[in-house]
Amino acid sequence: MHIHILGICGTFMGGIAVLAKQAGHKVTGCDAGVYPPMSTQLEAQGIALTEGFDPAQIRLEPDIFVIGNVVSRGNPLMEEILNRGLPYVSGPQWLAEHVLKDKWTLAIAGTHGKTTTSAMLAWILEYAGLQPGFLIGGVPQNFGVSARLTDSPFFVVEADEYDTAFFDKRSKFVHYHPRTAVLNNLEFDHADIFPDLAAIETQFHHLVRTVPGNGLVVANGREESLDRVLARGCWTPVERFGTAQGWTIGAAGAVAFKEEFQGMLNWPLLGEHNRMNALAAIAAARHAGVPASFGIEALAKFENVKRRMEVRGVVNGITVYDDFAHHPTAIATTVAGLRHKVDGARILAVLEPRSNTMKLGVMKDALPGSLKDADQVFCYGANLGWDAAAALAPLGDKAQTFDDLDSLVAAVTAVARPGDHVLVMSNGGFGGVHEKLLTALAR
């Protein structure tokens, strides 16, 4: 089969491309911005890429067009596909029909931690010799790739609640029909498509409806929102984590299930959020047949995901980190985790609020509280629909905002000194700010 993917350079659709190629299909694709690293990863797989959405691409005559959710009505190639009555399908539906249908699918959903927990779970199954396939919205450093197809019956998928496509406004995860479903947490996000938290809870309820009675729901026991989701109906056994009635972990790393000791987790990862992620992964892997003690042993060798507190370089005693945090809760836990690690050393937080939700300003009032543990804050406020300086005013003179990236880099460089930790947070490329900082600090 020849598939042509519209929006191929997104993390999810790029993963679909890799899986399709590994399954033996001919794969081509296009995007508005064909750029590294995804473009180089795809080209290395022998996948031909086209810049833009020229309607002439129909001459490729694929068997089907796979449509990413970046594509909307008015897209010239999509309009030509519709006008000619050519076959098309969403990425999640293609994945479900061509990859997941014969698999034991383990799906990780939640507002935060999906990528990390998916990577942990895939690694536990790999360590146990089960060789899972996976599609993860980041690059787990234990694997070096974000997607893999294997002959294993097990497949781990990061299950996103964002909508499927312009013609299917259900959340992506309703297509996956998991046997093991992790509900990691649930907060309001994606303000561009959801009016409120209740609307997202409804989508999570739809996910729960797809899990079979002989499956397992692994749910965060500290989240009232998830309690409400499960109270709307659940036909599957539930194991909770973060509560004494289910899976718990102490600050020292002692893991227990229903207050029965399972083992000691010894690893370098920071923060309570990662301990909760670990519990979810251990519980899900146990459902697939991996004893908890083995899961704990595997996580001692877990190398995390790129862009999750990833050290990009150390220059003149100044450490520069890259992190994907963009929601105020994720920012707060990331800063708190680094604070726990570095104790009294200075943290210079460098933030780009570029997610759709942050651009809308829905959560701007929560930003000062999420950054309170940082010593200095540098915010890139270009292209926002709200005043970043006004939003960060409660932080006083420790916060600065910039509309010019070079000015931001110069300001950070001017105050940084040996022993500082520069924490860069964005869910995008941030204009290559990490390398700009490292180059400037070296001077």
253, 272, 299 - which closes a domain = 299
Which whole number is the average pLDDT over 382-392?
86
User: Counting Cβ atoms within 10 Å, is residue 93 exposed (0-12), middle (13-18) or buried (19+)?
Assistant: middle
Q: Residue 57 falls within a domain, yes or no?
A: yes
SS (H, E, C) 273-321: HHHHHHHHHHHHHHHCCCCHHHHHHHHCCCCCECCCCEEEEEECCEEEE
Mean pLDDT of 302-312: 81
**CATH assignment of the domain containing 147:** 3.40.1190.10
Which tens digit of pLDDT belongs to each residue from 314-353?
A: 999 999 999 888 788 888 888 988 898 888 999 999 999 8
In degrees, rounded to 5, the angle at the alpha carbon of residue 438 between the alpha carbons of residues 435 and 441 is: 145
Residue 37: predicted pLDDT: 67
Strand pairing report for 163-165 and 168-171: antiparallel
Mean pLDDT across the chain: 92
Per-residue pLDDT band for 429 (boundaries 50, 70, 90) equals confident
Same domain, 330 and 397: yes
Of residues 95 and 190, the one with the higher pLDDT is: 95
Parent domain of 409: 310-442
Q: Given the DSSP bridges, would you call strands 2-6 and 64-67 parallel, antiparallel or unpaired?
A: parallel
pLDDT at residue 353, as a whole number: 86
CATH number of the domain bearing residue 356: 3.90.190.20
Q: Are residues 249 and 322 in the same domain?
A: no
Q: What is the pTM of this model?
A: 0.81
d(CA 148, CA 15): 8
CB-based burial, 43-70: b 16+ in 10 Å, e otherwise: eeeebebbeebeeebbeeebebbbbbbb
Q: Is the pLDDT of residue 103 over 90?
A: yes
Helix 292-299 with 114-127: angle, nearest 10 deg: 110
Q: Is residue 265 part of a domain?
A: yes
> CATH number of the domain that 6 lies in?
3.40.50.720
Domain boundary among 90, 110, 133: 90
Q: Is the pLDDT of residue 188 over 80?
A: no
Domain identity same for 171 and 265: yes
10 Å Cβ neighbour count for 142? 17
Span 128-186, pLDDT tens digits: 999 999 999 888 889 988 899 999 999 999 999 989 999 999 999 999 999 999 999 89
Report residue 36's pLDDT band, with 50, 70 and 90 as the boundaries: low
Mean pLDDT in residue range 63-78: 97
Same domain, 137 and 283: yes
How far apart are the C-alpha atoms of 315 and 422, rounded to whole Å?
11
DSSP 8-state class, residue 361: T
- Domain identity same for 294 and 237: yes
Interval 399-425 mean pLDDT = 93
One domain for residues 229 and 376: no
Instruction: Please write down the long-range contacts of 370-375, taking CB distance under 8 Å and 24 or more positions apart.
Output: 370/328, 370/329, 370/331, 370/332, 370/335, 371/331, 371/332, 371/335, 371/395, 371/399, 373/332, 373/335, 373/336, 373/339, 373/347, 374/335, 374/347, 374/348, 374/349, 374/398, 374/423, 375/346, 375/347, 375/348
- pLDDT recorded at residue 58: 97
Q: How would residue 87 be classed by pLDDT, with cut points 50, 70 and 90?
A: very high
Do 140 and 253 lie in a common domain? yes
Look at residue 125 in the predicted model and tell me its pLDDT. Answer: 98
375 and 348 both lie in a single domain: yes
What pLDDT band is residue 35 in, cutting at 50, 70 and 90?
A: low
Q: What is the pLDDT of residue 402?
A: 92
pLDDT at res. 41: 79
Strand, helix or coil for residue 262: strand
Q: Which residue has the tokens 């996103």?
A: 160
**Does residue 335 belong to any structural domain of this protein?**
yes
What distance in Å separates the CA atoms of residue 273 and residue 423, rounded to the nearest whole number? Answer: 17
* Number of domains forming the structure of the chain: 3
Query: Is 304 part of any domain?
Result: no
- Percentage above 70 pLDDT, the chain: 99
Question: Which whole-number Å values give the CA distances from 310 to 269, 334, 378, in the listed order?
Answer: 11, 11, 19
Confidence of residue 300 (pLDDT cuts 50, 70, 90): very high
95 within domain boundaries: no
Q: Are residues 73 and 129 in the same domain?
A: no
| Confidence grade of residue 47 (pLDDT, cut at 50, 70, 90) | very high
One domain for residues 78 and 189: no
User: pLDDT grade, residue 50 (50/70/90)?
Assistant: very high
Q: Does residue 97 form part of some domain?
A: no
Which of 253, 273, 299 terminates a domain? The answer is 299
Of 3-7, 93-97, 263-267, the one with minimum mean pLDDT is: 263-267
